[in-house]
Amino acid sequence: MHSVEKTPWEEHWSVTPQGLQLGLVRIGGSGAGMEPPEDARLVNGGFEYSGSTRPPVPQLLLPDSAFTGPLNLCRDDGTGCLPLHTLAARNSGDSRPILLSACFRE
């Protein structure tokens, strides 16, 4: 959820050997710092575009602000979504940013 516009914001990320790779991005509209890029397509009243042209990043610093809705982390294996603060083992009132990075298990 965008903190000013109060519109949905969805980003799809993949874990790669090079880091976290942005994929599909969906935003519910445009405004206050959330203008879609020129290659965005209007789909069901919102904008979609690919972030895959951006290089992978080693980590994401995610805001967990009282001014936005709770951030959810959804897995693509069908197990559903969970509020990010529960995965970070902290209370929902804790508004410190959450650092997300990839790890590999063998």
Question: pTM (2 decimals)?
Answer: 0.76
pLDDT of 33 reads: 67
pLDDT of 92 reads: 64
pLDDT of 87 reads: 78
Domain count, the chain: 1
Q: Is position 85 within any domain? A: yes
Q: Write out the residue range of the structural domain in which residue 72 sits.
A: 9-101
**Cα–Cα distances in angstroms (integers) from residue 25 to residues 82, 88, 89, 91, in the given order:** 19, 23, 27, 28
Q: Is position 3 within any domain? A: no
Q: Is position 1 within any domain? A: no
Q: Is position 77 within any domain? A: yes
Q: Is position 2 within any domain? A: no
Q: Is position 4 within any domain? A: no
> Is residue 24 within 8 Å of 48, Cβ to Cβ?
yes
Structure-token pair, residue 100: 């997300």
Neighbours of 19 (CB within 10 A): 16
Q: pLDDT digit string (tens) for 30-81?
A: 666 667 888 899 998 889 999 888 999 999 998 777 666 778 888 888 888 8
> Is residue 83 within 8 Å of 92, Cβ to Cβ?
yes
Q: How far apart are CA 101 and CA 19, in angstroms?
A: 8
